[in-house]
């Protein structure tokens, strides 16, 4: 006998009591944050306890109009599985039709009802003879679920069952709406508002789920947009925001089915799980970089997104997720050092390389703090008169009684903060030495100070130089900033070349150092001019009569003169090289034939004896030839 047929439940206070108990049970679960499926399962169990001859079911309806079982503890598992993914419609059984028409549907005989014609073979073998279903709609009127009673005999609902279901529909709606609010809160908590990508919190959560995964089952990309800061500074943050959105969409499309996360301002991460894809991370990275390389309209400006990627796959050598993350970070750091705009995959030796580099950064940082950085100078001579016309300032680090050349700690300057601090220290030292030489009445011309890509990218090197010279009351004309060819090209980063233009516009002269070692050509000088070109030692070493090096250098000298650019030959070591350079029109040079880099005191003596415009005896070269 069902509860509705029991005389003691024919209405009145007993009915109210039963329904209140049901309502309180479910509302308490909702208030305590119980999951949607357990809540609805409990609801079904409680209803079936009150009405023992009914079988209770709750189905959800997705936005595509497909049914999915949510709760049905007394339904056969095979039957519930058969319902999953069925589409709502006018002839879709009781639940599918109720959701489609948004009205309750009573089928008193499944075997003969046309709405069950295509589905009765699923229900009848399990003894399900009748079904009454009620739709559950959201505030916008969209059917989001159904609540149904199945019967084992052909009949429809009783008045009391209708009262129970009215309460159940309301309770289920409350549970679903709370569940959706929780999902929306989680979505917002784990979603980057600007790009729509999963955010840093989602990234950490996704990584934590990979603990214990099989070796080789996943890999990680970490990616930095290289030109976001330039876009923000040049075109405004609106353009920068559009750049991030476009880049995010392109990265996500290129790595699908991988998952893309925005983990910082210009930082993204990608988790790749497809085993086949892990065999060729380079190919996937190339596809990402290729997708990004197409110009995009960002706030009315045509901008090409540029990125650098580091990658690592989970290997037998990795202790866990944290190890893979660190490896990918190492790879990205190395990629940015060796040339932005590319991809580096972590390899076993990279960690030791990075450890060594970090040691160099630590040592140089300590030397800066402890005032153990010194400036040495290598003179630049006129090749005909052997007069000193300028100097190149070279950094030395003192360790005890020893001096270490910049080549020994060059790796440390890959760190932007250390590099800019070192440049600022050198400018301070050089400005003080310039003041001393000017006070001695030396008819001094200029000192070249080397600057890094970090100095130029930061945009403040001109101000740092001006401040150092102003403190010592030294005119700006006494300094030339030297930029290596690889820095000058900027690995495709227009910010470097824009910085050089800005420096020259402010009256600061710029020299292009190590010319010929990289990939610059004289055509680049048409758009980003410099004042001095310093020919790399490699060309000087290979000077031979009628040789290729002579032809190249001679052509360079001739073209540079027409462009108003001075030429300095570096690394001159023999008198033969001096004569060959003079013969092809090179007027200035530096190298061991004249003098190595020397300290301030020795430089002062050289200037007092051989600076251009000072009466003196001819300088003796290191080969003994005057």
Q: Which among 38, 133, 36 is positioned nearest to 83, based on CA atoms? A: 133
Q: What are the phi and psi torsion angles at 118 (to 5°)?
A: -85, -5
One-letter-per-residue 3-state SS of 487-508: HHHHHHCHHHHHHHHHHHHCCC
159-189 vs 12-31: helix axis angle to the nearest 10?
Answer: 10
End-to-end CA distance of the chain: 124
Q: Which among 194, 291, 204, 198 is positioned nearest to 240, based on CA atoms? A: 194
Name the one residue in this structure whose structure tokens are 């995964």: 213
Contact 344, 223 (CB under 8 A): no
User: Which residue out of 226, 266, 415, 455 is catalytically annotated?
Assistant: 266
Please give the structure tokens belonging to residue 143: 């059917």
Please give the structure tokens belonging to residue 618: 């001819």
Query: What DSSP letter does each residue of 323-382 carry, written as one string?
Result: HHHHHHHHHHHHHHHH-TTSEEE--TTHHHHHHHHHHHHHHHHHHHHTT-EEEEEEEEEE
Contact 475, 507 (CB under 8 A): no
Residue 401 designated active-site: no
Residue 95 Cα to chain centre, angstroms: 48
Nearest-angstrom CA–CA distance, 170 and 103? 15
Strand partners of residue 148? 57, 133
Nearest-angstrom CA–CA distance, 196 and 216? 29
Q: Which among 403, 455, 400, 380 is positioned nearest to 425, based on CA atoms? A: 455
Could you tell me how many residues make up the chain?
626
Please give the structure tokens belonging to residue 566: 């001075």
Contact 30, 176 (CB under 8 A): no
Residue 5 Cα to chain centre, angstroms: 68
Q: Tell me which residues are annotated as active site.
A: 266
């Amino acid at each position: 006998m069902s509860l509705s047929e029991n005389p003691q439940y024919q209405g009145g206070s007993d009915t109210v009591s039963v329904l209140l108990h049901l309502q309180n049970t479910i509302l308490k679960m909702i208030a305590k944050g119980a999951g949607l499926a357990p809540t609805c399962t409990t609801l079904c169990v409680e209803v079936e306890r009150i009405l023992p001859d009914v079988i209770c079911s709750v189905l959800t309806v997705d936005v595509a109009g497909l049914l999915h079982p949510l709760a049905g503890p007394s339904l056969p598992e095979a039957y519930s599985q058969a319902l999953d993914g069925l589409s709502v419609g006018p002839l879709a059984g009781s639940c599918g039709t109720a959701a489609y028409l948004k009205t309750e549907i009573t089928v008193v005989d499944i075997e003969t009802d046309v709405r069950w014609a295509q589905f009765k073979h699923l229900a009848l073998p399990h003894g399900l003879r009748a079904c009454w279903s009620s739709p559950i709609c959201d505030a916008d009127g969209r059917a989001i679920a159904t609540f149904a009673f199945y019967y084992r005999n052909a009949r429809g609902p009783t008045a009391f069952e209708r009262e129970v279901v009215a309460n159940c529909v309301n309770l289920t709606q409350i549970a679903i709406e709370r569940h959706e609010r929780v999902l929306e809160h989680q979505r917002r908590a784990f979603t980057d508002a600007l790009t729509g990508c999963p955010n840093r919190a989602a990234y950490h959560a996704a990584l934590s789920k990979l603990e214990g995964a099989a070796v080789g089952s996943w890999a990680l990309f970490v990616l930095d947009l290289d030109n976001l800061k330039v876009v923000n500074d040049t075109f405004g943050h609106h353009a920068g925001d559009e750049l991030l959105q476009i880049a995010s969409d392109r990265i996500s499309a290129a790595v699908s089915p991988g998952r893309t996360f925005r983990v910082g301002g210009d930082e993204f991460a990608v988790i790749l799980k497809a085993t086949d894809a892990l065999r060729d991370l380079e190919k996937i990275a190339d596809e990402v970089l290729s997708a990004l390389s197409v110009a995009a309209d960002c706030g009315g400006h045509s901008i090409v997104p540029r990125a650098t990627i580091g990658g690592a796959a989970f290997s037998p050598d990795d202790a866990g997720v944290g190890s893979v993350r660190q490896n990918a970070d190492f790879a990205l750091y190395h990629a940015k050092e060796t040339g932005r705009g590319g991809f580096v995959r972590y390899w076993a030796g990279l960690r030791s390389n990075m450890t060594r580099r970090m040691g160099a950064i630590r040592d140089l940082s300590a030397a800066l703090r402890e005032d153990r950085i010194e400036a040495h100078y290598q003179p630049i001579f006129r090749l005909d008169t052997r007069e000193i016309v300028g100097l190149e300032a070279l950094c030395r680090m003192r360790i005890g009684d020893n001096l270490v050349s910049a080549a020994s700690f060059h790796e440390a300057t890959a760190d932007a903060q250390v590099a800019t601090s070192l440049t600022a220290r050198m400018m301070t030292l050089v400005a003080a030495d310039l003041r001393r030489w000017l006070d001695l009445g030396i008819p001094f011309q200029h000192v070249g100070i080397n600057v890094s890509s970090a100095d130029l990218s930061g945009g403040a090197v001109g101000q740092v130089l001006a401040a150092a010279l102003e403190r010592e009351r030294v005119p700006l004309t006494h300094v030339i900033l030297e930029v290596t060819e690889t820095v000058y090209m900027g690995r495709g980063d227009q910010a470097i070349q824009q910085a050089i233009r800005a420096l020259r516009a402010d009256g600061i002269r710029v020299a292009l150092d190590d010319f010929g070692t990289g990939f610059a050509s004289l055509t680049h000088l048409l758009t980003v001019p410099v004042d001095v070109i310093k020919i790399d030692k490699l060309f000087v070493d290979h000077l031979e009569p009628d040789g290729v090096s002579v032809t190249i250098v001679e052509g360079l000298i001739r073209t540079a003169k027409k462009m108003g650019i001075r030429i300095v030959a570096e690394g001159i070591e023999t008198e033969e090289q001096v004569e060959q350079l003079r013969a092809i029109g090179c007027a200035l040079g530096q190298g061991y034939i004249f003098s190595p880099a020397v300290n301030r005191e020795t430089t002062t003596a050289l200037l007092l004896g051989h600076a251009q415009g000072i009466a003196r005896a001819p300088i003796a070269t290191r080969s003994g030839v005057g």
